[in-house]
Structures are given as C-alpha cells and as structure tokens.
Amino acid sequence: MFRGTLKRFCKRYLKVIMGSFGSFRYGESLIGILFVTPVVLYFLIFLLYPALGALYYSFTEWNMRTRPIWVGLWNYKHLLFDRIKYPYFWHSLGVTAKYTGIAMPLSFVTALVLALLINAVKRGQDFFKVAFYLPVITAGAAVATMWRWIYDPLYGLLNIGLKAVGLQPQRWLGEPRMIIPALAIISAWQCGFAMIVFLAGLASIPSRLYEAAEIDGAGAWQKFRYIMLPMLKPTTFFLLVTGLIAAFQVFDIVYVLFRTGGGTIGGPGQAGLTYVLSLFDHAFRYYEMGVACAMSFILFVIILIVTYLQFRFVPQSYE
C-alpha cells in the first residue's frame, strides 16, 4: 500500500516537475528527478521549513531559551503601533527606504558607467573587470576599516579632497544626516556585480545594430540612447529587482562600520539603523525572537509588494 502511494506521489511529482501531464516517459523523467531532487530537498529543509518555523514563531513571544508562548498578532500590532516598546521600527524602515532611494540609483549609474567604459577599452578589459569587482569580494571588516579612514573627519582622504577644492569638510560618520549618503557611496563603490551583469548585457547586443546605426549617421549618444539603453532593458529590470531586494536587506556594512570597537548600534542618532540591523538586534541582542520573526515577515510582505509593482510597471523587454 505504501509503495503504491509513493509511486503515485512520485508520478505526480514528476508531472509537476516536468511540466507535461500527458506525454512524459518515466525513464527519461527519472534522470530529471535525480537532478532536481537535491535542490528540492535543499528548498524543503533549509528554506521552506525554517520559513514556516519563523512564521509560527512570529505569533509567539520567545526568547530562545524558554517555551514559546502563543500571542497571536501581538508582535505585529505592537511593532506597527507601539512607539514605546519598539521605538525604532518605523525609523529603521525609513532609514532603509532612504538608503535604497539613494544607494540604488547611485550604484546603478556607477555600474553602468563603469561597464560602458570597460566596454570601450580595447586592451586590458579583464584587468579592469577584476579591479572593479574586487570590492565585492573584499572582507566586510576590511572594507569598514578602510572607509572609516577615508571618512575620518581630520585625516580622511575625502575631507582632504573637499578642502583642496575649497569645500567644507564633513562629519561623514558622525553627523546623522550624512550617514546614509556615506553608506550609499560605499554601496556604489561595491557595484562590481551590477557592472559585470551590464557588461554581459552590452556584449549580447548584436553588432549589426550599431553598424546599421552608423550607416544612418548615428553618433555615440544616439547609439547609447536608441540602441544600448533599450537593449539593456531586461538586464536593467533584473538588476532593479535583485538590487532592491538586496538594498532592503542591507546589514553587513552598517554592522561592521558601527559595531567594531563597541560602537553604537546604528551610528550617531541611530541614523544608520537599517531594518535588518534592527531585526538582528531584536533577535540576538534582546532575544526577542518572536518579534524578529514578525519583522522578517513584514519585510517579506514589503519586498513582495515592491517586487510585484516592479513587474507590473517596469518594462522588461526590448519593446
């Protein structure tokens, strides 16, 4: 009986996996199922099960050491409306939105400019690709240390540069209003991934389009405006969706910038307290795991809505 049930389950599984209800052949499909099973198991064990667990814990009060107590929607309600218990919920959401609004366009433009420059270089392209990609794979602690020096109010390179051109030096990591722009600059410096994707997008544009444009007398700007940008729409859309999700989840750079050496949590005035950093504190500093799980699902809903809007309104194809 069990074997029969298992066989029926496998057949249905195969149908779903192969996507052909009437015409699949069992032997061929077995190979397919073998290929996808590790990923399916990974998804079930390491993604779906923890996600469902987190959803359950979001309805509980749980400090990770005693039994979780079911509290229904209490965590959600108090996160959204109780400014005494959770004074930084909306603040951290605002910080994250501001960061996303500044860092994403800045990274995008930087990545596109770098990709265009590298694309235009005749020799040594690989060197520049590696050089501009290095910040992505550099250890977070090293990045934070280096940028703390660059942003240093007395000896920092940036302030020395500002003074050299007659501008006022800034307290990049000390003045609350400067913190998000400072983080956005670091994000733009780490745009290597987007740059590589843009390069791939540029490489996929057929050369005949440029040739035809040149015959029609198009200059560099016209080629960029009427060929490159439209042909990069799928690439741009992909980077927009993944970039926005990543920006909403920004954590590591803020953590290492402000935590190293016993610093404050989100920097002066909590101006760098991003949503996920706040979530981390609730989970692993205050041991409010139920609250942290609720925060993660609120973020999930926000990202879901924003991503849906992107799919709905942002052009995805060449047309």
Partner 1 sequence: MSFKRFVVLAVSLVFGAILTTAAFGASIDFWIYEPAGPAGEAALEQLKADFEALSTGNTVNIIPIPKGDFNTKLNIAIAVGEAPDASYLDQPLVAEFAEDGLLDPVPEGRIDESIFYQGALNTNRVGGVLYGLPLTQTCTAIYYNKDLVSDPPETWDELIQVAKEVYDPDKQIAAFGFSWGHYGGGWGAWLWHSFVAASGGQLLDEENQVVSFTEQPVIDALQLWVDLLAYSPFEVIESENSFQTGHVAMMISGPWEIEGLRESWPELNWGVALIPRKAEADFGTNIGGDNGVVYAASENKGLAWAWLKFLTLAESNLVLSRDVMGNFPINLTVAKGEWIGGDEALAAFMEQMKYAQARPRVKGWLKINDEILGAALSEALGGEKTPAEALNDAAEKVNQLLGW
User: Per rule CB under 8 A, is residue 290 in the interface with partner 1?
Assistant: no
* Span interacting with partner 1, options 26-34, 150-158, 179-187, 215-223, rule CB under 8 A: 150-158
User: Per rule CB under 8 A, is residue 122 in the interface with partner 1?
Assistant: no
Q: How far is the CB of 263 from partner 1 (least distance, A)?
A: 5
Q: How far is the CB of 171 from partner 1 (least distance, A)?
A: 6
User: Per rule CB under 8 A, is residue 315 in the interface with partner 1?
Assistant: no
Q: How far is the CB of 148 from partner 1 (least distance, A)?
A: 6
According to CB under 8 A, which one of 57, 132, 258, 275 is a site residue for partner 1? 258
**Contact between residue 64 and residue 242 where contact means Cβ atoms under 8 Å apart:** no
Q: Distance between CA 246 and CA 307 in Å, rounded?
A: 12
Q: How far is the CB of 241 from partner 1 (least distance, A)?
A: 32
According to CB under 8 A, which one of 115, 173, 195, 295 is a site residue for partner 1? 173
**Contact between residue 289 and residue 62 where contact means Cβ atoms under 8 Å apart:** yes
* Span interacting with partner 1, options 23-31, 81-89, 197-205, 238-246, rule CB under 8 A: 81-89
Please provide residue 61's backbone torsions phi and psi, each rounded to the nearest 5 degrees. -100, 115
Count of residues interacting with partner 1 (CB under 8 A): 36
Per-residue b or e along 88-126, where b marks 16 or more CB atoms closer than 10 Å to that residue's CB:
bbebbbebbbbbbebbbebbbebbbebbbebeeeeeeee
According to CB under 8 A, which one of 43, 90, 226, 286 is a site residue for partner 1? 286
State which of positions 222-251 bind partner 1 (CB under 8 A): none
User: Per rule CB under 8 A, is residue 164 in the interface with partner 1?
Assistant: no
Close Cβ partners of 140 (under 8 Å, ≥ 6 residues apart): 252, 253, 255, 256
Closest CA to 260 of 167, 122, 147, 98: 147
According to CB under 8 A, which one of 16, 285, 312, 318 is a site residue for partner 1? 285
56 to 75: interface string for partner 1, x by CB under 8 A: -------xxxx---------
According to CB under 8 A, which one of 17, 18, 61, 176 is a site residue for partner 1? 176
User: Per rule CB under 8 A, is residue 284 in the interface with partner 1?
Assistant: yes
User: Per rule CB under 8 A, is residue 135 in the interface with partner 1?
Assistant: no
Please provide residue 60's backbone torsions phi and psi, each rounded to the nearest 5 degrees. -125, 165
* Span interacting with partner 1, options 133-141, 236-244, 281-289, 304-312, rule CB under 8 A: 281-289
C-alpha distances (whole Å) from 22 to each of 14, 18, 25, 31 are 11, 11, 9, 18
Indicate the residue among 16 and 164 with the shorter CB distance to partner 1.
164
Exposed, middle or buried, 21 (CB in 10 Å: 0-12/13-18/19+)?
exposed
State both tokens at 182: 């400072």
Q: Distance between CA 156 and CA 240 in Å, rounded?
A: 32
Indicate the residue among 197 and 271 with the shorter CB distance to partner 1.
271
User: Per rule CB under 8 A, is residue 139 in the interface with partner 1?
Assistant: no
Q: What are the DSSP calls for 239-306, one per residue?
A: HHHHHHHHHHT--HHHHHHHHTTT--SSSGGGTT--HHHHHHHHHHTS--HHHHHHHHHHHHHHHHHH
According to CB under 8 A, which one of 112, 143, 152, 201 is a site residue for partner 1? 152
Q: Distance between CA 88 and CA 298 in Å, rounded?
A: 14
Residues of this chain that bind partner 1 (CB under 8 A) = 63-66, 84-85, 87-88, 148-149, 152-155, 169, 171, 173-176, 258, 261-270, 281, 284-287
